[in-house]
Amino acid sequence: MTCAGRSASSSCGVCSPSSGPLQTTRCRLPAADYALLKAKGPYKRPIFVPHEPDPKAIPTAHPPTWSKVRWAVKLPEFPVPERLAKALNVVDRQRSEAQIRAQFLPGDFNAETYSSFLSTLLHIEEYQQSVNLARYNLSSVPLHQERTGRYRLYIRGLTEGKPSLLVGDKLLVCKYAEQIWHEAIVHEVRFQEVILYINSTFKLRSSGDLIDVRFQLNRMPWRRRQQAVTLNVNQPRFLFPTAQDTSTLHRPTAADIDAFDFGDESLIDNQEQKTIVAAIANAPPASVPFVVFGPPGTGKTVTLVEAALQILWNDPTARLLMCAPTNDAADLLAFKMMDLGPSHLFRLNAIWRPIKSTLQVILKEFCLINGNRVYAIPEVEALKKFRVIVTTCVSAAVPYSLGISRGWFTHVFLDEAGQCSEPDSMIPLKLIAGPETNVVLAGDIKQLGPVIHSSIGRDLGLRSSYMERLSSRPIYDLETYRGITIMKLIKHFRSHPAIISYSNRRFYANELLPCGDPAITHSMLRSVVLDGLNPEFPIVFHGIAGRDEQEEGSPSYFNIAEASLVAQYCDELISDRKVPITAKDIGVISPYTAQCRKIRALLDRSSVRMEGLKVGTTEEFQGQERRVIILSTARSNPAHAIGDMHRRLGFVGDAQRFNVAITRARALLIVVGDPGVLTLDPVWKEFLAYVQSNGGWRGKGLHRNNLNSDDEDTAQDAVRQETKELIERIQSLNFGNANGWAVPNPDNLGPEPDEEAYDDRPMTMDD
């Protein structure tokens, strides 16, 4: 098999050997690659089985390595209501959504209905994630006893986060063919095994006896979200601000800006960054949230940190809570503020978070770690001594639960706010911010938003971040309120001008100004990868006609021809003597976890050193950059691509995912895909026309008219308009009111799109 369905090791037939010296090798699929990556067995779509509630189980104590915490505020359980669970536990998704709209959601979304509305959406998403986790339940698997109460369980897929387990997570175990369930607590996570502690009433006849296993969702984050959204404190200036709330604000003047002594010298020539710092630092208490709109590579986090430092230097009474949706982003915030010293800065971690990254080791003196080398939570009086606390959005509930009153912190900063679901954003805003606390949001609503698993939850509004909803209100209009309530950063420091050019025009009103260091951004122009192409244009689109497949055990898609081609590009880049780079300089992105697995398998087999080369999904790369980025789009079946639009997976039909993917590269962007499928999407079609017109195309091509957006042929215009309308209708998922349209049911999609999506979305934002 080859990328065009020919015999192994033969040419794919879509590329001209004369189009470049490396062309003849890149379009072959070696037999060894096919043998390594071929499907293990056919994928069988699971039959819908009603989700069963968890059985009662004999409890087991938490890990003894955890330090005890004295909570001052009780955290309620907030179980998913039985009636709502019953409405969700059906195969007909449309009927379920209609019932929820009619029976569980208020008719309007306003300050009075805010809590009940978001609480219901949270229950819907929690229920779906429980269903997804249950897909990994095990039946009749061996459990090995190491000593009394301590057991070892092998879990296939653990290394890939399928399922994702942390110390302290609960499993339910039952001896095979019996009905007595016991809680098992994860005490250690190894490569493909977990060490479990189970109460003394659980006994095996012999090590290796068979058991059934049910994985349990960690409900602590869900309970904290519910605690926040249901708290009977809904400040209008946060939730639904109006022009009246801006009466005390003004755009910073030149004198306002000149009054600051900027600690970061890189801000001296950046008017937008200085304006943001002045606006945030000078804002009177009880202001509306200030929004920092930070497109890729514009120094958003640097600006946020400078604003925080200016507040601390100019106001000795200021106390800051700085949050981010993920631990990595929170670690980066803390790292950039380390000069404050461990007496002023504290990095608050969840007690179940493992210590494994380099940045975590660097930040050790800014954390509390007990004698068991496990994160711990300080006593409330100790925590109140710090001027700055950095944590994740979910762990921002800890100060409130310890008894720190709302309003203790004068400022709340939320970085990467575009990735936060609204309930996650409400944890620091509703539990921490008081009547005079000022809030700052920084992010980019043109990139990926929150990861939401429930298609019903997405349809009902959970897919939009708090920052996105706020930015749509009139007082955040950039033309009118620039510098008052919102500011857009426009100096772009990451990429070669050609790499950022298309996103700049499409998503950022062509306002971004490339300011990157040419020693980096132009460093790949002599690469062998550009041989035969425009040597001044560091974007390559390699057209290839592969086949997207699934295999036993996962609904995620992979494309062997593309994976093989990506691996060959990696080999060539690392072996390139003209432009020497290392594996750490390269990132490979695909929207499908199965494709990522296949690419890793090929790279692991390579004779070239690949240590440090990251392969991951788009979500894993948001906020990151590499000197070289290779994208594998994986899709070669138009019907499958339309299915992706339905589920908001992949690159086709999802402009935010597309934008993230093509803006990670600093000096070279390589895209591997099937142009016949990608051009179904108007955004991709326009991007491919941009690449072709600049001489960056190789491999399978399309007739120029297929990419010519100026084609005046009436028939072409009609087809283009019809395709656009079809995509819009699929994206809106408004199938019940399609005005006579017969929307296709690609890939034999059933009524529940979540069924096919769970394997390509992270389980949760980490905490």
Is the pLDDT reported for residue 6 higher than 60? no
Check residue 45 and give its pLDDT: 79
Is the pLDDT reported for residue 747 higher than 70? no
Options 3.40.50.150, 3.40.50.300, 2.40.30.20, 2.30.30.30; CATH of 57-230 = 2.40.30.20
Q: Read off the pLDDT of residues 338-364 as tens digits, 9 standing for 90 and up.
A: 999 999 999 999 998 999 889 999 999
Summary count for the chain: helices (H), strands (E): 30, 24
Is the pLDDT reported for residue 600 higher than 80? yes
Which contacts (CB < 8 Å, 24+ apart) does range 578-582 have? 578/526, 578/527, 578/528, 579/523, 579/524, 579/526, 579/527, 579/528, 581/524, 581/627, 581/628, 582/609, 582/612
* pLDDT averaged over every residue in the chain: 87
What is this structure's pTM?
Answer: 0.89
- The segment(s) of the chain belonging to CATH 2.40.30.20 are 57-230
Rounded-to-integer distance, Cα 533 and Cα 537, Å: 8
724 — pLDDT class (breaks 50, 70, 90) = low
Query: Sheet holding 697-699: strands in order across?
Result: 614-616, 586-589, 626-632, 665-673, 539-543, 697-699
Q: Read off the pLDDT of residues 307-316 as tens digits, 9 standing for 90 and up.
A: 999 999 999 9
Domain 245-489 adopts which CATH fold?
Answer: Rossmann fold (3.40.50)
Is the pLDDT reported for residue 476 higher than 50? yes
CATH assignment, 17-38+495-709: 3.40.50.300
- The segment(s) of the chain belonging to CATH 3.40.50.300 are 17-38+495-709, 245-489
34 — pLDDT class (breaks 50, 70, 90) = confident
Q: What percent of the chain has pLDDT over 70?
A: 86
198 — pLDDT class (breaks 50, 70, 90) = very high
The packing angle between helices 327-336 and 300-314, to 10°, is 50
Query: Sheet holding 388-392: strands in order across?
Result: 345-347, 388-392, 320-324, 411-414, 438-443, 290-293, 486-488
Q: Read off the pLDDT of residues 89-123 as tens digits, 9 standing for 90 and up.
A: 998 889 999 999 999 999 999 999 999 999 999 99
Residue predicted with more confidence, 4 or 563: 563
Check residue 715 and give its pLDDT: 40
Is the pLDDT reported for residue 732 higher than 60? no
Check residue 25 and give its pLDDT: 36
Cβ-Cβ contacts under 8 Å for 2 (sequence gap 6 or more): 8, 9, 10, 11, 12, 27, 28, 29, 561
178 — pLDDT class (breaks 50, 70, 90) = confident
A 10 A CB-CB count for 135 gives 15
Average pLDDT (14-34) is 54
Range in 46-50, 515-519, 686-690 with the lowest mean pLDDT? 46-50
DSSP-derived pairing of the beta strands 181-189 and 170-175: antiparallel
Check residue 607 and give its pLDDT: 74
